[in-house]
Structure 1
């Protein structure tokens, strides 16, 4: 399981092998460019000069560019998300100049207790940070999410393992409105998990399913560390953070995903 400070060290170590200046290619869109530039400059702490960051869209685009990019003397690094493949640890591409994150996506690297507390503090702006930390009760807050969503993502990994296709949903779907606020409902997650299991069993044996699920469960416990590593930061963890932040802020206004990512990168300890 991922230690986020260790993952940033791994990334820095990769950068340092290139020395001097470098061109970086990533997933996502042009609107994410400023986030990547800020994040990498913070991680590197001026040890490397970044020529440019070029978002290429999807993961396949980055890998294709990595394979086809001509050698013209410029130093290049291609960075892609770990995605569902990091759960079984299979089919992870290995190419020169390609760096695969040890987390579902780069947004996962932004999320740890200290960063989340600071994010809520600066967005709330009406309570002392110590009070927010106490009210948040980080481990207790994330415990029901860990127990449900890690299991869900293990099942999604099985869909991929058995050759199926899945689509991620926003975490808001697994909440219900209670007294005007969104409240997590693990029963909705369980229903989705059971639906996925049944889809797999339509084409594969229960023996194969149980064996492969047990293998994944031996690698990933239903705890906070697994939650912050293998559950999509973009589609699940950041929406969960926003729901919690709104309770502190007592406001219905929501920042954009780009604003959130830049704020988390700013407050983070990477």
Structure 2
């Protein structure tokens, strides 16, 4: 997207100045995402700020560029939001930029993995089973624990690949290739095979010792985090396909669609996003 088009998108916030207490700029992640952001941000900030609209600008670097260009005060409260992506594992930040908020999770979908929201949405779709039975069959905590270590370890390797061999496919590798059932739980052997394939490309670049240091460094940095799966593994590309597969194995459930995500956004807890307020500047 050309700079002029991005600048025009950024300028469109002027039409909402009467309604928006704060101008919020996000990555342009496709149809429906503006509403997902609006839903979650109104939950997090709605008591303090009126948010009628958010403004998708483009990809991550384009949002950061717009933030860089708008470091001077113009009297409008504003904030620029980008996904955590693999950067949060690599601990790459742009902390010096006023008004830049890097999501502390992989992407906005990661905030939709709220156990109650998933159970309630499943209950709305199911005509026969009671909610307690649905909850027990989904068994969110079991799903979480069975996937967590395996996928977090894989994403640590993805993050190292992203830094040293950026052209190598990482998150774009479909999670369905790592499954051998419809349980929504990855097959540890398939994940191990995937990791070993990537490690065989990293070892010639870093050497075994340096590579192990990189892995240990990331593990040490994230070991205090709980629910690592929901923070560091892509909600969009990995967790959503897995949970939808699990739901569809239990009941008739819609496909992995934007409307399901919107319904979850309306029910999900957004308290973690309240600290976004500290990044707003004018």
* Shared fold, TM over 0.5: yes
Cα 1:223–1:139, aligned 2, differ >3 Å: closer, same or farther? farther
Structure 1: give runs of 5+ residues left out of the alignment.
1-19
Cα 1:49–1:259, aligned 2, differ >3 Å: closer, same or farther? same
Counterparts in 2 of 1:100-249, with a 5 A limit? Answer: 100-162=102-164, 164-167=166-169, 168=171, 169-176=173-180, 184-220=186-222, 225-249=227-251
Q: For residues 87 and 185 of structure 2, what CA distance do their matches in structure 1 show?
A: 30
Cα 1:126–1:26, aligned 2, differ >3 Å: closer, same or farther? farther
Deviations for 1:183-202, whole angstroms, at most 9, x for unmatched residues? 63222211111111111012
Cα 1:187–1:58, aligned 2, differ >3 Å: closer, same or farther? same
Q: For residues 96 and 119 of structure 2, what CA distance do their matches in structure 1 show?
A: 36
Contact map agreement 1:148 1:189 (CA 8 A) in 2? yes
Aligned residue for 1:24, secondary structure, equals strand
Aligned counterpart, 1:60 = 61
Structure 2: give runs of 5+ residues left out of the alignment.
1-19, 271-282
Aligned residue for 1:40, secondary structure, equals helix
Q: For residues 235 and 219 of structure 1, what CA distance do their matches in structure 2 show?
A: 24
Deviations for 1:67-100, whole angstroms, at most 9, x for unmatched residues? 1136432221111111112113234443111111
Shift of 1:51: 4.7
Aligned residue for 1:87, secondary structure, equals helix
Aligned counterpart, 1:44 = 45
Aligned residue for 2:151, secondary structure, equals helix
Aligned counterpart, 2:92 = 90
Contact map agreement 2:179 2:186 (CA 8 A) in 1? yes
Q: For residues 130 and 96 of structure 2, what CA distance do their matches in structure 1 show?
A: 46
Aligned length: 247
Aligned residue for 1:214, secondary structure, equals helix
Deviations for 1:234-259, whole angstroms, at most 9, x for unmatched residues? 111111111111122245x5152x21
Q: For residues 82 and 223 of structure 1, what CA distance do their matches in structure 2 show?
A: 15
Q: For residues 233 and 182 of structure 1, what CA distance do their matches in structure 2 show?
A: 13
Cα 1:79–1:250, aligned 2, differ >3 Å: closer, same or farther? same
Say whether residues 1:79 and 2:117 are aligned partners.
no
Contact map agreement 2:81 2:103 (CA 8 A) in 1? yes
Contact map agreement 1:82 1:104 (CA 8 A) in 2? yes
Deviates more, 1:194-203 or 1:163-172: 163-172
Q: For residues 94 and 175 of structure 1, what CA distance do their matches in structure 2 show?
A: 41
Contact map agreement 2:37 2:108 (CA 8 A) in 1? no
Q: For residues 232 and 23 of structure 1, what CA distance do their matches in structure 2 show?
A: 26
Q: Considering only aligned residues, what root-mean-square deviation do their CA atoms show, in Å? A: 2.5
Q: For residues 58 and 40 of structure 1, what CA distance do their matches in structure 2 show?
A: 20
Q: For residues 224 and 93 of structure 1, what CA distance do their matches in structure 2 show?
A: 24
